[in-house]
Amino acid sequence: MVENTLSIKAVDFNFYYGSHHALKNINLDVMKNKVMAMIGPSGCGKSTFLRSINRMNDLIEGTQAKGALLFGGMDVNEKSVDVTRLRREVGMVFQKPNPFPKSIFENVAYGLRVNRLFNGRDDLNVKVEQSLREAGLWDEVKDNLNKNAYDLSGGQQQRLCIARALVIRPEVILMDEPTASLDPISTAKIEELIQELKKNYTIIIVTHNMQQAARVADNTAFFMLGELVEYGETSKIFTKPDKKITEDYITGRFG
């Protein structure tokens, strides 16, 4: 394994909610500038693993992580890790669009202001525009940047949230079922966007949509009851998986 191609590495990673053993001995490598999809039935540990990467599970009382979850060569659960910085480097896009009750411009500018990542108004304007362009939204909103974000459609709001995540230049973008609440046209736009974004970012997506995983992911991880059942190139997982249980899930025989 060439180290500079590796983004995230889980080594015998376990996670607990109190006495509930939610993730069991997870071992996988996430490669830079690739899309990794996580599939599996509800409650199998997909979102728990996703939220472990940027320590979002810290917000839940009584949780505990064991084993290693490496990002940039460092275990994210080490006491010395600056969690605020970690969350800047590992952005998050949630299932339902969650824009702030602010203008389109201020939604994107928020992270720059909070982290003081701009030099003057002109630099702020340039960075907001760049992120809106990256999120495929600029042409639709450039004449209405002072409009309330809530006035946008659901699909536009989700792309705005992606722009908000991109503006502070993370290395990794986590997406937890980012199109679950969107219509097919908006979903297609997000999927096209994911393919474009992987040129500059590593993307990890949780999805219940098998077709979506097959369309957007370079690699796919199948989780079941807190265990990683199978992980590999998406084309192989969907056409010739090693395990029958993987085939049964993908073909809809259960789950």
CA distances from 213 to 25, 45, 150, 157, 171 (A): 23, 17, 29, 22, 21
Q: Where are the domains of the chain?
A: 3-250
pLDDT at 159: 97
CB 203 within 8 A of CB 35: yes
CA distance 154 to 193: 16
User: For position 104, what pLDDT does the model report?
Assistant: 98
pLDDT number for residue 1: 38
Domain 3-250, CATH homologous superfamily name and number: P-loop containing nucleotide triphosphate hydrolases (3.40.50.300)
Asked if residues 230 and 241 have their Cβ atoms less than 8 Å apart, the reply is yes
Token pair listed for 184: 């097919």
pLDDT at 2: 43
Position 255 scores a pLDDT of 54
Which pLDDT score, from 0 to 100, does residue 175 have? 97
Token pair in block for residue 139 = 């042409």
* Average pLDDT per 10 consecutive residues for the chain, totaling 255 residues: 76 97 97 97 96 95 96 94 95 95 98 93 97 97 98 96 96 96 94 96 96 97 98 97 96 77
Beta-strand ranges (E) seen in the chain are: 6-17, 20-31, 35-39, 63-71, 74-75, 90-93, 172-176, 202-206, 219-224, 227-233
**Closest by Cα among 27, 3, 24 to 221:** 27
Q: How far is CA 163 from CA 34, 73, 89, 176, 243, in A?
A: 19, 27, 14, 16, 38
